[in-house]
Amino acid sequence: MSKTWLITGASSGFGRSLTEKLLARGDRVAATSRNTQALDDLRERHADRLWVEALDLRDLHAVRETVDHAFSELGRIDTIVSNAGYGVLGAAEETTDEQLRDIVDTNLSGSIVLIRSALPHLRAQGGGRVLQVSSEGGQIAYPGFSLYHATKWGIEGFVEAVAKEMAPFGIRFTLVEPGPARTNFGRGLVQPEPIAAYDGTPAHQTRDALLSGDWIVTGDPERMAATMIAVVDQAEPPLRLVLGKTSYHAVRDALSTRLNELEAQREIAFSTDYQAEELA
């Protein structure tokens, strides 16, 4: 039985791969993008099953209108894929207020409003799925990507809480945490004006490694997209889906370090509570 999906950022990267695979298997897709012309070839081949609308996630009013319009036009939408996003590569001090506003508005606020706007429709139809494309950067942090990590850690906290709120309504969420993949993510990076004082420091070492091409990217976006689709098809999908060896090892190391730090503070944590005799 075919399904209907709404995908943001559908013109490139994971969004494009997902859209192509879903159309190929006979599903319907409501695809949004700031660049809808990049979807013209798919519209020509799948005009009856591909609904396209221009959307900039920074325009929160437009996000709400687009979600309502998609449900009105297509009826039931089984899965929402919040995929659109980008990165800012630079030390925190190098970034501008405008760059901060734009990435938060796109990666965090836009994603939140997209999901919030879909929830009444999903509840009314008796359930559905939400796939939020996050990143390994939602659980770890590279120097030089502070603004990006702020948005990904933020959307992970939002989704984890909302997943608990929506469980009684049959709405299931999955946070997708891919490691580096051979998409066009690198070409879309915003790069602030560098400050020479950071040369040779971790922030610029990350930037230099990424821009030099020496950073070997092993993640296959096609395999990752196929796995995302397979997870949505599961009766009980995981809350988090880690994709790629790089992501697996990075997230595992980060969680292990965090747990070790927590355990080392056990006595300190307990010492800050009222004692049993004080509560008696």
Of 73, 65, 84, nearest to 48 (Cα)? 73
Burial class (CB in 10 A: 0-12, 13-18, 19+), 36: middle
Cα separation, 64 vs 202, whole angstroms: 40
Q: Collect all residues with Cβ–Cβ distance below 8 Å to 276 and sequence separation of at least 6.
A: none
- Catalytic member of 12, 109, 134, 146: 134
Question: How does strand 128-133 pair with strand 171-178?
Answer: parallel
- Catalytic member of 111, 148, 198, 247: 148
Cα separation, 262 vs 268, whole angstroms: 10
Confirm whether 152 is a catalytic residue.
Answer: yes
Strand order in the sheet with 28-33: 50-54, 28-33, 4-7, 79-82, 128-133, 171-178, 240-243
Cα separation, 184 vs 198, whole angstroms: 26
Cα separation, 130 vs 259, whole angstroms: 29
Confirm whether 164 is a catalytic residue.
Answer: no
The secondary element (H helix, E strand) that includes residue 204 is: helix 202-212
Buried b (16+ CB within 10 A) or exposed e, 146-156: bbbbbbbbbbb
Helix residue ranges per DSSP H, 34-172: 40-45, 60-74, 97-103, 111-124, 146-166
Please give the DSSP secondary-structure letter assigned to residue 109.
I
Confirm whether 212 is a catalytic residue.
Answer: no
Residue entry with tokens 């030099």: 212
- Catalytic member of 11, 142, 152, 198: 152
Q: Which residues are designated catalytic?
A: 134, 148, 152
